[in-house]
Amino acid sequence: MAEDIANSGTLPDSVDTRLPPKDAPLLRIDAVEKRFGGFVAVDELSLEIRTGEFFALLGPSGCGKTTLLRMLAGFESPDRGRILLNGQDIAAVLPHQRPVNMMFQNYALFPHLSVAGNIAFGLKRAGLPGAEIADRVAEMVALVKLEGLEKRRPDQLSGGQQQRVALARALARRPQLLLLDEPLAALDKKLRESTQLELMALQRRLGTTFVIVTHDQEEAMTMADRIGVMESGRLEQVATPRQLYEAPVSRWVAEFVGDINIFEGTVEARDGGRLTIATRDAGAIVAAAPRQPGETTRICVAIRPEKVRLSRRGPVADAVEIGAINRLEGVVTDVSYLGGLTGYTVKLDDGALVRASMANIARLDIDSYAAGQRVVAWFSPDDCVVLER
Amino acid sequence: MSARRIFTRPARIAVLAPYLWMALFFLVPFGFVVKISLSQTAIAQPPYLPVFDLAAGWSAIKAAFVALSLDNFRLLVSDNLYVLSCLRSVIVASVSTAILLAIGYPIAYGMARLPKSWQPLAMMLVIVPFWTSFLIRIYAWINILQHDGLLNKILLALHVVAAPVVWLSTDTAMFVGIVYSYLPFMILPLYATLAKLQPSLLEAAADLGASPRRAFWLVTFPLSLPGVGAGVLLCFIPIVGEFVIPDLLAGSDSIMIGQTLWLEFFTNRDWPVASALAVVLLALLLLPLLIYERLQRRQLEGAQ
Ligand SMILES: Nc1ncnc2c1ncn2[C@@H]1O[C@H](COP(=O)(O)OP(=O)(O)OP(=O)(O)O)[C@@H](O)[C@H]1O
Ligand SMILES: [Mg+2]
């Protein structure tokens, strides 16, 4: 499994309390493949999702997220592999018989029905009594804050309002598995954040298993118990948000999730838990060795900007342990003040550009640097990630 | 102010154009027809009285006005012939339109579900009959349906019937001719609305637990209603006034309003009665249009 390769002996996994109980998977995707003509949209993908889990699929546009979701909902059938729901192969189960609901990327609201009519559609098909349908519709309308708009038609709603109707419609049936295809993409930042929290609360309250597709990594990190990073139809890594961010398994994942400095180089020396890497344009860097070191000597060292600190002179190196601290000298070339953080770009004397971001913990700018200033960028070997691919 | 600016002067004139067209080529001639319908027949040129003669002066025109009467309309109501032919027209048009809808909807639905690259071909096939003259196609049907025609030959050869069946000069023949001729007018508007239907709506319906059949009745059909309305109007209205098909294919024991009109006009040379019939026919045809309009407006208001 991808997570095991992670070079993260010291990762505080136990801090993450959001992992659901490890019981039998609700959903098992087993080496599923989907082709469109000669094009492989989903490539031998395997994944297990546990009951009650909030799972996010994260990936760039066109990587096959929607295709995977459509196979789960039953609108596409896999060319190879199996999809098991509650241990049963659902290949033969028609979409309208699956205990799965989907929120469509383009909403797919019924234009001839009102907001309430759209939300009630699935409830009526389920044969609920009228009073219960009315209650559930009212509850859903309140949940997505559409009170007063129940009688409107979809074309009389804004994009964000339409999206909320689609969400309410998919939630109303309380399915075992809810698939959400970019459910919040059209909402403004405030509403998106509050809806994220509400979705999480709702998910915990109902115990429904959510699979959400997004290409907003912050959204995935906020909401999901686990994240699957997809690229070209494959799952690059499946991990908790923290593992994904702190222990990416590949250069691609490291660069896709968050901001990161990457230095290419070759391994010079292996000394216990430490690797000394001669980089092309940042001198020698000492990094913690991966737990299961590979054969390759051509590797990358990666460090997140917030783990790079700047100072005028740099800390005095611990004489006892050589390489306790990496110190890279250079000149500040760019400063961007972002409120809570300030981002710096430092051009090292060896040529590389290093980004550092520092929290603005004081109101007065006693601790800031100006462009043109000489600084030392320093970071601990433990904060470095060694990427072998 | 800025919003109004979109409509430049040429654009505003362009908006008026259809109204001008209507006034010039519909309202004015229709005014003549209404006037003639209020006149009396006369053996004269033109064959009715009174005639407005602008040269004869004001008092003559006033006298002509006084001479106008509703007698022709009273005649239409009192004579069974006219009432029956009106009734027959409406019945024939309703039955034909229902058959057209029943045949046209599945065809249009099938067309809209063909792979995109095949759809233009299917559309061509629907339109191709128009490349042959309408009259020639009706004569072809006479050929097919007559006593020793193609249909009887096939039926005899297959031993479905023992003796030739009389097809020609029956209502069946007429309905065959009408349905055949008007089918494209039903299919095309239906196809246009069905092709616009987003497939994801049907997926959403399935996702929410609707079987394909329910999804059809709950989503596809309601969303195709504008096409149904357009197709029904496009067929119903001209069929009510249809003259050629019933004249060539149906028997002569009962006739439609278009045929009656023709008789009055050309055989009896009774222009005033023919005009009165034309006015009644128009009133008959306005009725479904008004209902359609009312329904559409209610749908729009309901959406608010
Ligand atoms: N019906 C289809 N026929 C052919 N190719 C398809 C079809 N559906 C999807 N694809 C291709 O499969 C790939 C994956 O598509 P998919 O819609 O799953 O991407 P996605 O990850 O959801 O992207 P986005 O974030 O933009 O929604 C794309 O390259 C797309 O062009
Ligand atoms: Mg997608």
Please report the DSSP string for A177-202 in residue order.
EEEEESTTTTS-HHHHHHHHHHHHHH
| Mean confidence (pLDDT) of chain A | 84
**Predicted pLDDT at A169:** 93
Residue A28: strand pairing partners? A48, A84
- Residue A55 in this model has a pLDDT that exceeds 90: yes
**Predicted pLDDT at A321:** 58
Closest atom of ligand 1 relative to the A215 alpha carbon: 25
Q: Which residue has the higher pLDDT, A138 or A270?
A: A138
SS3 at position A229: strand
pTM of the model: 0.78
Which of A230, A289, A285 shows the shortest CA–CA distance to A261? A285
B246: left (phi over 0), alpha (psi -120 to 50) or beta: alpha
**Predicted pLDDT at A16:** 41
Look at ligand 1, atom 26, and give the residue with the nearest C-alpha. A61
**Predicted pLDDT at A315:** 65
The distance in angstroms from the start CA to the end CA of chain B is 26
**Predicted pLDDT at B56:** 77
Probe target for ligand 1 pocket from A33, A39, A57, A67, with the most ligand atoms within 8 Å of CB: A67
**Predicted pLDDT at B154:** 93
Which of A278, A279, A378 shows the shortest CA–CA distance to A327? A378
SS3 at position A230: strand
Look at ligand 1, atom 28, and give the residue with the nearest C-alpha. A62
| Residue of A108, A125, A155 with shortest CB distance to B198 | A108
Q: Taking ligand 2, which is a single-atom ion, which protein residues have CB atoms under 5 Å away?
A: A 66, 105
Give the model confidence (pLDDT) of A331-378 as tens digits.
Answer: 999 999 888 888 999 998 888 899 999 888 887 777 788 888 888 888
A19 touches chain B (CB under 8 A): no
**Banded pLDDT at B2 (limits 50, 70, 90):** very low
**Banded pLDDT at B91 (limits 50, 70, 90):** very high
Tokens of A373: 């200033």
**From the DSSP assignment, how many helices (H) and strands (E) are in chain B?**
15, 2
Q: How far is the CA of A220 from the centre of ligand 1 (A)?
A: 20
- Residue B88 in this model has a pLDDT that exceeds 80: yes
**Banded pLDDT at A15 (limits 50, 70, 90):** very low
Residues of A in contact with B209 (CB under 8 A): 96, 122, 125-126, 173
Q: Report yes or no: A238 and A183 within 8 Å, Cβ to Cβ.
A: no
Could you give the percent of chain A with pLDDT greater than 90? Answer: 34
A91 touches chain B (CB under 8 A): no
- Residue A8 in this model has a pLDDT that exceeds 60: no
Closest ligand to residue A70's CA: 1
CA A206, A212, A217, A221: dihedral to nearest 10 degrees? 20
Give the model confidence (pLDDT) of B136-156 as tens digits.
Answer: 999 999 999 998 889 999 999
- Residue A22 in this model has a pLDDT that exceeds 90: no
CATH topology of domain B72-303: MetI-like fold (1.10.3720)
Look at ligand 1, atom 3, and give the residue with the nearest C-alpha. A36
- pLDDT winner (highest mean) among A8-17, A179-188, A307-316, B188-197: B188-197
Q: Do B205 and A110 touch (CB under 8 A)?
A: yes
User: If you average pLDDT over residues A122-129, what whole number do you get?
Assistant: 90
Q: Is the CB of A106 under 6 A from ligand 1?
A: no
The CB density around residue B284, as the number of other CB atoms within 10 Å, is 17
SS3 at position A108: coil
Give the model confidence (pLDDT) of B176-230 as tens digits.
Answer: 999 999 999 999 999 999 999 998 999 999 999 999 999 999 999 999 999 999 9
| Residue of B207, B214, B304 with shortest CB distance to A101 | B207
Q: How far is the CA of B215 from the centre of ligand 1 (A)?
A: 25
CA B50, B52, B57, B62: dihedral to nearest 10 degrees? 60
CA distance A244 to A253: 8
Give the strand order in the sheet containing A209-214: A100-103, A177-181, A209-214, A54-58, A226-231, A234-239
The CB density around residue A36, as the number of other CB atoms within 10 Å, is 11
| Mean confidence (pLDDT) of chain B | 88
| Residue of B200, B201, B206 with shortest CB distance to A96 | B206
CA distance A285 to A383: 12
CA B145 to chain centre: 24
Q: Is the CB of A75 under 6 A from ligand 1?
A: no
SS3 at position B43: coil
| Residue of B198, B222, B303 with shortest CB distance to A156 | B303
A154 touches chain B (CB under 8 A): no
Could you give the percent of chain B with pLDDT greater than 70? Answer: 96
Look at ligand 1, atom 2, and give the residue with the nearest C-alpha. A36
SS3 at position B145: helix
**Predicted pLDDT at A314:** 62
SS3 at position B200: helix
CA distance A348 to A371: 13
| Residue of B203, B208, B223 with shortest CB distance to A112 | B223
CA distance B184 to B129: 9
Look at ligand 1, atom 22, and give the residue with the nearest C-alpha. A66
Q: How far is the CA of A65 from the centre of ligand 2 (A)?
A: 6
CA B100 to chain centre: 12
Closest ligand to residue A62's CA: 1
User: If you average pLDDT over residues A168-184, what whole number do you get?
Assistant: 89
Closest ligand to residue A232's CA: 1
A99 touches chain B (CB under 8 A): no
Q: Is the CB of A58 under 6 A from ligand 1?
A: no
**Which of B196, B197, B200, B208 should one mutate to test binding to chain A, selecting the residue with the greatest count of A CBs within 10 A?**
B208
- pLDDT winner (highest mean) among A297-301, B57-61, B188-192: B188-192
**Banded pLDDT at A137 (limits 50, 70, 90):** very high
CA distance B186 to B164: 32
A175 touches chain B (CB under 8 A): no
Q: Which residue of B has its CA nearest to A117?
A: B218
**Predicted pLDDT at B239:** 93
